[in-house]
Structure 1
Amino acid sequence: MKGIIGKKIGMTSVYGPEGKQLAVTIIEAEPNVVTQIKSHDKDGYSALQLAVGDKKEKRATKAAVNHFAKASTSAKKIVKEFRDYSIEKNIGDTVTVEIFAEGEKVDVVGTTKGKGFQGVVKRHGFSGVGEQSHGQHDRQRAPGSVGGSSYPSRVFKGMRMAGQMGNDRVKLKGLKVVKIFPEKNYILVSGSVPGHIGSTVFIQK
């Protein structure tokens, strides 16, 4: 595996090699610092720990400051491990967008936009109870019946109801790397990527 920590910048469109217009997401991946290397002998598994985003030293614990000092870098905001990293790196080295190539397929992991507490119409696509009758009001977006009376005398688990929507960890697989701008630390991937603008995403293969 190889991967990098990035930040979602937004979406745009570019023209592909066949002259076809493609919708792409711009991800800014500043050089990631290798802060720890884990091995099977010492830790039981192989992984590369990457960190990005400077953090004020006074806002970091002393243990974290010492940990990052071993890599000769300042305290970082975001730390992520990538298992079985395929590229040889040493502590203190940097990982840039150039580890990927144009035309390559990658997976992108992000956290979807949080929608808060939503009703059944928005959350599950219900159409509501129907038109009003005598004495009824505000029923258009209601969930309707949720369980039987005498049998089964309970509500089944998994019943679709109102509740928290969004803010879920999502992995999109097989997105194509359309363009790379090493001088700007930009990587353009096809299609949309989960998360709001400015959110942290992980690109891996």
Structure 2
Amino acid sequence: MSIGMIGKKIGMTQIFNTKGQSIPVTILQIGPCTITKITQTPNTNQNKVQIGYEYIQPSKITKAEIGHFKAKKLPCFKYLKEYKTNTINNIKIGKILSVREIEIGNHITVSGNSIGKGFSGYQKRHHFSRGPMSHGSKNHRQPGSIGAGTTPGRVFPGKRMAGQMGNTKVSINNLEVIDINQNNNTLIIKGSVPGKNGNLIQIYKK
């Protein structure tokens, strides 16, 4: 069964292997997550599993959400996430998923929002080259031409220009699990993970 869970990024550090080599790693706190909904699509192999993460008081969520949890006889959760899976064997509503579902050496996909860097110019955002820096030049950091004139008479969507940089969903595949601490529900992943410390992230293992 494919496994999807929600957690938070703790931070980055480094560990040393038996050869004395430094390995950059990221520490993630994953789950525990609870299966809150299973949707089966007839005549297809695609099923949807919804999981909940981080308990919350009923007074802080909507009545519709309270009714959703009450119908399943589950506690209230702050975050809900749905993912697709081909098989739903050995799972049921109310089952708790934790880092025990993952083993050292597994490769997982981690998704999260990258760090937002505000409104950035086209040089920083798209790595464009600057204009001449001589005294007579008036095109040091200006974008220059952004399109043709009368025809087509507009700027095409997707033109690389200044704008919001970062704060987008980023997924990194095949990150290796270096170590697991089941008591603290933490994973040590080789490499970097999108977002800043404390950000919500989703992991997925096939």
Give the 3 Å change call, closer, same or farther, for CA 157–19 of structure 1 in structure 2.
Answer: same
Provide the residue aligned with 1:201 in structure 2.
201
Aligned length: 203
Aligned counterparts of 1:133 and 1:180: Cα–Cα separation in 2 = 59
Could you tell me how far apart the structure 2 residues matched to 1:42 and 1:36 are? 19
> 2:158 corresponds to which residue?
158
SS at match of 1:160: coil
Q: Tell me, yes or no, if the aligned pair for 1:102 and 1:179 is still in contact at 8 Å.
A: yes
Structure 2 counterpart of 1:60: 61
Shift of residue 66 of structure 1? Answer: 2.3
Q: CA deviation at 1:86?
A: 5.5
- Using the alignment, how far apart are the partners of 1:145 and 1:160 within structure 2? 12
User: What is the identity, as a one-letter code, of the residue corresponding to 1:28?
Assistant: Q
- Which secondary structure state, in structure 2, belongs to the residue aligned with residue 161 of structure 1? coil
- Aligned ranges for residues 45-124 of structure 1 at < 5 Å? 45-84=46-85, 88-124=90-126
Q: Cα deviation per residue 1:30-89 (whole Å; 9 max; x = unaligned)?
A: 310111122234999412211011222112122211222344432211101122256622
Q: In the aligned structure 2, how far is the partner of 1:8 from the partner of 1:145?
A: 42
- Alignment RMSD (CA, Å): 2.5
Change (3 A) 1:86 1:106: farther
- TM-score, structure 2 normalization: 0.86
Quote the Cα distance in structure 1 between the aligned partners of 2:89 and 2:184: 22
> Structure 1 pair 16/37, CA: closer, same or farther in 2 (3 Å)?
farther
In structure 2, C-alpha distance between the alignment counterparts of 1:164 and 1:86, rounded to whole Å: 40
SS in 1 for 2:123: helix
**What is the alpha-carbon distance in structure 2 between the residues aligned to residue 8 and residue 190 of structure 1?**
13
Matched to 1:108, the amino acid is V
Higher mean alpha-carbon deviation, 103-112 vs 126-135, is at: 126-135
Q: TM-score, normalised by structure 1?
A: 0.87
State the alpha-carbon separation in 2 of the partners of residues 194 and 143 from structure 1: 29
Cα 1:149/1:45, change in 2 over 3 Å: closer
Which residue in the other structure is 1:25 paired with? 26
CA deviation after TM superposition for structure 1 residue 186, in Å: 0.2
1:75-127 CA-to-partner distances (Å, cap 9, x unmatched) read: 21110112225662221120001111111111111111122221111101123
CA distance in 2, matches of 1:26, 1:18: 22
Residue of structure 1 in register with 2:190 after alignment: 190
